Amino acid sequence: MRLCVCLALLSLTLCASADASSIRRGAEFVRDAVGGAWDMLRAYKDMREANFKNADKYFHARGNYDAAQRGPGGAWAAKVISDAREKWQSDLSGRGAEDTRADLEANAWGRGGGDPNRYRPAGLPRKY
């Protein structure tokens, strides 16, 4: 209980001493990060639903692109999620280094504002 009270008082002190613009920027970053995480999840769900051969790079690029369009928080969330996924993939799944490299390239392309359609395979339904 004492710890909760101390944390609440510390939070109040920090908030009172911070200027409103830095609080606003922090809130925007968090909002963008949450939205970016949802963009990444949506791209993953679409990839699973589409179940389309050779489309994974497109969905990597699209998820990163959509998240990064939200701002610095979205780009940060996309990088964290993408890097964690690629680390898991390279360490545990047994997929090759070449596939991981290509995924990282697609992630960076989308996060950098590149058109995800660069990776779109022919025949992928327009709904994606």
d(CA 94, CA 113) in angstroms, rounded, equals 30
> In this structure, is residue 8 part of a structural domain?
no
> In this structure, is residue 21 part of a structural domain?
no
> In this structure, is residue 60 part of a structural domain?
yes
Instruction: For residue 85, give the CATH number of its domain.
Output: 1.10.132.110
pLDDT at 105 over 90: yes
> In this structure, is residue 63 part of a structural domain?
yes
pLDDT of amino acid 109: 98
**Reported pTM:** 0.81
> In this structure, is residue 23 part of a structural domain?
no
Range of the domain at 38: 30-119
pLDDT of amino acid 43: 98
> In this structure, is residue 17 part of a structural domain?
no
> In this structure, is residue 105 part of a structural domain?
yes
> In this structure, is residue 61 part of a structural domain?
yes
**Closest alpha carbon to 40 in 93, 100, 70, 82:** 82
- The domain tally of the chain equals 1
Going 46 to 47 to 52 to 54, the CA torsion angle's sign is: positive
pLDDT tens per residue, range 4-55? 565 565 565 556 556 678 889 999 999 999 999 999 999 999 999 999 999 9
